[in-house]
Chains A and B, each alone.
Chain A
Amino acid sequence: MQFNSSDSGSSLQSEINITPLVDVVLVLLIIFMVVVPLLMEGYDVDIPRASADTSAPVAESQLILGIGATACPILTPPAGEGIPKDCQVTLADQKIPVAELPARVAAILRGRPAEQRALFLAVDDRLNYEAVLRIIDLAKSGVEDLKIEFVAAN
């Protein structure tokens, strides 16, 4: 290793060249100023169509996930991460613990074409909003491109 071969005779250059560092820091600064405060994350959902055809026939293939306030009593924001284990949801008329949801949804929807990978949610009004989003999150973890649509709970 030779440190001083090119400019023999001159004194040792010990300073780090910081010009690229300053460049990078300034660009990072601009990125932070412009982008970071304004990015959002969330879930795309379709809205229940309340104003029109509520009596539209339910297609055979519709996968309906029912979340009731008695089987899944989460009425206040759940503590910590995830959903409490005592929550049970109804998937295609079958009662299952919420932990099984990703695997079940994936098993049912795996064979379908992408545009039919939709989950229809019937959610009890009394449930906590954060819990509902966490259940949507759980369902989506099984199927990447899952479409979420709300239907009226009965």
Chain B
Amino acid sequence: MQAAINITPLVDVVLVLLIIFMVMAPQMRKGPDVNLPNTTKPNSQGDERGRILVSIDEAGGLWINDQSVAAGHFDEALRAAVGAEANPKIVIRGDAKLNFREVREVMVAIEQTGFRGVGLIAKRTGTEGK
């Protein structure tokens, strides 16, 4: 008598799920698609949940988390995103094609809202991050 459960279909399903998640993972990120700068040894910036993501796309458009934000309303949108959080961590996802000026202006805008430190997000050379 064959007492063992046939687990081949189970392994099938699990492997397919694994592949689906690996493929879908980059699209699950918050914010627009940004072609992040490549560097060799970026430090860990932790999990993007619990961070406020400020994205600057290729055209210089500003995003806070999932929302496109006009430059004129950046301050109030950032304050709204921070809400009542006591010690928010803000990161900037800037496109590799940008000039430093566009990133600096966003950093100054963040500073004027009352924050000193930000993380500049990069991707490790050779990885597939977005």
Contacts and interface: CB of A to CB of B under 8 A. Distances in A.
B103 interface: yes
Interface in A110-145: 123-130, 132-134, 136-137, 140-141
Interface stretch (A4-12, A35-43, A55-63, A89-97): A35-43
Given A51-B112, A134-B39, A137-B40, A125 B47 contact: no
Interface in B110-130: 110-112, 115-125, 129
Interface residues on B, range: 35 or more
Contact of B43 (A44, A127, A150): A44
- Chain A binding surface SS class: mixed
* Dominant secondary structure at the B interface: mixed
Given A39-B44, A43-B122, A124-B100, A22 B14 contact: yes
**Range of interface residues on chain A?**
35 or more
Contacts, number: 163
Q: Which 6 A-B pairs have the closest CB atoms?
A: A125-B101, A130-B37, A41-B42, A37-B25, A42-B121, A130-B96
Interface of A: 15, 18, 22, 25-26, 28-29, 32-33, 35-51, 75-77, 81-82, 123-130, 132-134, 136-137, 140-141, 150
Interface of B: 4, 7, 10-11, 14-15, 17-18, 21-22, 24-26, 28-29, 37-49, 51, 91, 94-104, 107-108, 110-112, 115-125, 129
19 contacts: A29-B17, A32-B25, A37-B28, A40-B45, A41-B42, A41-B122, A45-B118, A45-B119, A47-B108, A47-B116, A48-B104, A50-B111, A77-B96, A81-B38, A123-B100, A129-B96, A129-B103, A130-B37, A141-B40
